[in-house]
Amino acid sequence: MNKKTWELLPFWFPVSKVNQKWAIVFITLTIVSIDWWSWESSTRFADWIPIWIIYSIMIQFALAYSTWKFAKVFNPFIIERKFESREKEPELKEEETEENVKEPETEITDIAISTEEELVENDSKNTNITNIYISDSVINRSNIGEKNNKDE
């Protein structure tokens, strides 16, 4: 998915393939935790605690395990914005290409900084918004995980 495509997605939609897979895991756990099928159950374990409570605890431990695994690979795409006054408006606007804009990858390397700037129209009379994206080479690479080519 290139930048232009994923930017059209609603803000709550996970961008990368890895995050989409994890979203399915967490949504599934949330749905099965509701436990409709035994809603009227009053079966007890050792007389004192309902079985559905034990089930709920198990689901939560599965959630904790999933969160632990996800925490290892989660590498958020940090958007860094800079705002400048109109008089400091950049002279050139870089063309957006698929080559210079990529989705975040999950790879462990040291922090490297290079940015690409793009001018975004602003309805304010006094300011322009210049969004500076942290692309592949910019993303804080202190996070854990492997690069997934499918994400690009």
Partner 1 sequence: MSDLLTIGIILAIYLTISICIGLYGRSKEDNAEDYFVASRKINPWILFCTLAATNFSAFFFLGFAGASYRAGWGFYGIMAMGTSLVGLSILLLGIPIHKLGKEKGYITPPELIAGETNSKYLGWLYGAVLVIFTLPYLATQPMGAGILLETLSGGEIPYFTGASLLTCVMIIYLVLGGMKSSAMTDVFQGVLMFLILLIFVIGFFLHEEVGGFSDAGQSLWDNKPEKFVREGNFTWEIIFSYTLLWPITVPMFPQLFSRFYIAENDKAIRTAAWLYPTVVPILFLFPVIIGVYGNIVDFDHALSRTESDNILPLVLTEYAPLWAGAIVCIGAIAAFMSTADSQILAMSSIITKDGLPAITEIKEKKQKQVGRILIIILAIVGLTLAYDPPDTIFDIVSQAFTGLAVLFPTTVAVLYWKRVRANSCIISILVGETIVAWSYWSNKTGNVIPEWFTQGFHISTPVIFVTIIVLWISTEIEERLSNNASN
| DSSP structure class, residue 124 | -
Residue (97 or 124) nearer to partner 1, CB: 124
Query: Binding string to partner 1 for residues 93 to 122, with x set by CB under 8 A, is what?
Result: ----------------------------xx
Residue (39 or 92) nearer to partner 1, CB: 39
With binding defined as CB under 8 A, does residue 11 bind partner 1? yes
With binding defined as CB under 8 A, does residue 140 bind partner 1? yes
Long-range contacts of the stretch 94-103 (C-beta < 8 A, 24+): 94/118, 96/3, 96/4, 98/2, 98/3, 100/135, 101/2, 101/3, 101/133, 101/135, 102/3, 102/135, 102/136, 102/152, 103/1, 103/3, 103/6, 103/15, 103/16, 103/77, 103/151, 103/152
Binding site for partner 1 (CB under 8 A): 7, 10-12, 15, 26, 30, 33-36, 39-42, 44, 46-50, 52-53, 56-57, 59-61, 63-64, 67-68, 70-72, 74, 76-81, 83, 121-124, 127, 129, 131, 133, 140, 142-143
